[in-house]
A and B are shown apart, each in its own frame.
Chain A
Amino acid sequence: EAGVAQSPRYKIIEKRQSVAFWCNPISGHATLYWYQQILGQGPKLLIQFQNNGVVDDSQLPKDRFSAERLKGVDSTLKIQPAKLEDSAVYLCASSSLSGRAREQFFGPGTRLTVL
């Protein structure tokens, strides 16, 4: 079974520029999560989707961050405009609604550097 795919793996931009990250979850997983992991810290949930609906976006900085999951499969996370403090690894995870429903499978992440 293929794991969670993310691209790009690395991105370097200047502040005030925009950037987008892409995630393809494990096939059949209804729930998709985006986390922000700042160096030396644990992942922090930004947004959670179930199918193509938002379940929790309480910690998403909505003035600059946006995310969508069209057709309930792939998802994109966008930052516009980026700030220096957005430098982090952005992790995508997915989980199934059945079986071990609460086990989250993580992708390799996208490392963002904002200069």
Chain B
Amino acid sequence: GENVEQHPSTLSVQEGDSAVIKCTYSDSASNYFPWYKQELGKGPQLIIDIRSNVGEKKDQRIAVTLNKTAKHFSLHITETQPEDSAVYFCAASRRDTDKLIFGTGTRLQVFP
């Protein structure tokens, strides 16, 4: 069935460093890949997304890359700040459905 694997499960970085989270999906029909940030006690919030017709997308300090051949996509956060500390989830969905398949999450800690 559909599956999304996410690594690492935890990531600790110093403020100002970069952080990279990687995901792999199994369904070759997937064409939409959002990333969500979830802070303690809150629901997930969309931070960036990418569709299968592009290979990279940037939004200020956040970028996402997609390799359709390898079925990999990654989140890159540059110049990390303490407020970036949260759990990040990748997800994937197919063209014919809005059903999101989520990864298992990465807990990012940014130390001052």
Contacts and interface: CB of A to CB of B under 8 A. Distances in A.
A72 interface: no
A106 B99 contact: no
B104 A102 contact: no
B99 A45 contact: yes
Contacts of B100: 43, 45, 104
Interface in A27-85: 31, 33, 40-45, 48, 55-56
Given A40-B105, A42-B91, A42-B105, A102 B45 contact: no
A56 B91 contact: no
Contacts of A25: none
Interface residues of B, number: 23
Contacts of A48: 98-99
Interface stretch (B12-20, B36-44, B66-74): B36-44
Given A41-B105, A43-B44, A91-B44, A102 B99 contact: no
B102 A43 contact: yes
Contacts of B89: 42-43
18 contacts: A31-B98, A40-B105, A41-B104, A41-B105, A42-B102, A42-B104, A43-B44, A44-B102, A45-B100, A48-B99, A56-B97, A95-B98, A101-B98, A104-B46, A104-B100, A105-B46, A106-B45, A108-B43
Interface of A: 4, 31, 33, 40-45, 48, 55-56, 91, 93, 95, 101-109
Interface of B: 4, 6, 32, 34, 36, 41-46, 49, 89, 91, 93, 97-100, 102-105
